A and B are shown apart, each in its own frame.
Chain A
Amino acid sequence: MTRVLVVRLAQALAVIGIVVTLCFALIRLAPGDPFFAALDQPGVPPETAAAMREAFGYDRPLHEQYLRFVSNLARGDLGFSHSRSRPVSEVIAALLPNSLLLSGTGLLLGTVFGVSIGAWQGWRAESRWARASDRALLALSSIPEFVLALLLAMLFALELRWLPVSGMHDEGINGIVDVLRHLVLPASTLAIMVGAILARHQRAAMRELRDAEFIRAARASGIPERRVLFRHALRNASAPVLTVLGVMLGAVAGGTVLIERVFDWPGMGRAVVEAVGQRDYPLVVGAVIVTSIAVTLATVLADLAVAWANPRLRNRL
């Protein structure tokens, strides 16, 4: 297991290096430079613009800029957000917990929902309900998350008025219950998206395992049915499902951006969308890098979980 962890962490580091380089390249390929939008306005005197460029090193050769970019990043300096007039790291530090609360809750709910319903569908694949619900989940997993968010908002917030439609707090109220009330719709949207996809993989895995020889062998030695299901089938199904979960993490992060936008959730995703509109490069780049690092580290965790679930993978990497 230690070997898996070391190898995976080394790979994750390489991946993060490539991500950082890619971000730098994308920004430098763009017309102008990060100050383009802010400085090349008619009202700004050219001398001021040049002085600003010099101060931030944008007049230096590319490789020097790259080194500076990387070393700043290593020190946690993500640059300055023009639109918010604060360092990017401060903006992100303030918003990241909100995003993690939303995506974490959504992932957790979605996994519980997906794994349990998928396991039932796979184990009882002949039942009419299992088949019908599988078709329903296929349809559900085909609804883009922002559309699903809009539909849920229309139904539960606007039509039925059970839940708040936007934000994280009602004005003047501060309390955990209030936050949870606001969390229900966005987190459910994410949970449905995650759960529908996971359930379909869980179902496929369970269907295959149901006919596995070792399941029959366990029954043949008199292992009780509950134990066959939990200790043999579910345990072995968790490896492919955890793999899918690991691959899905990027999509979850993307889905969170859209869901935050629809429900006006004060997280990083909403900030990024606004920053793109204002061409606030440092904030966009900072958010992309932080999110990618989070996704990469979460993927390492998922890989470790897969290695736990499938001992055959522990020595083969």
Chain B
Amino acid sequence: MSDLVDKIKSMIKTFSYVTTGVLFSTALFISVFKPQASLDVTLLWQILCTTLICTLGNLLYPSREISTKQIVIRMFIHYLYIHVVIFSCAYFFDWFELNNGQMRVFMFICITVVFAAVSWFTWHEDKKTSELLNHSLEKYRKRE
């Protein structure tokens, strides 16, 4: 049960990070390629829907123990999965012309930057936790 709660908590956290990243990328994309565009409210729902599907990629990491090599492989699959999701959504929601090379490269860079940023934030959170653990370990030792 606590595994499920942990998983949901981690997915909510990832969802908020990814939403921020996607909103930022969308704003940048529209500013560069379609500065005159008038936007519909449906775009916001499309973004949330895309982000939600991207967040489901967290399910690639099981609760059971896996090796570091397995994690790296799964991170790579996760990265590819996000590309597939974003490009599929871009096609279905008609966000950009898939035959436009510049747009494809821009989107590829955005995905890579957001993926790297989310991974960094997650690592940073773990770093803070490890500092807390070290502080508590120090206190634990002093109690000996």
- The answer to whether A and B belong to the same complex is no
User: Which residues from chain A sit less than 8 Å from chain B, CB to CB?
Assistant: none
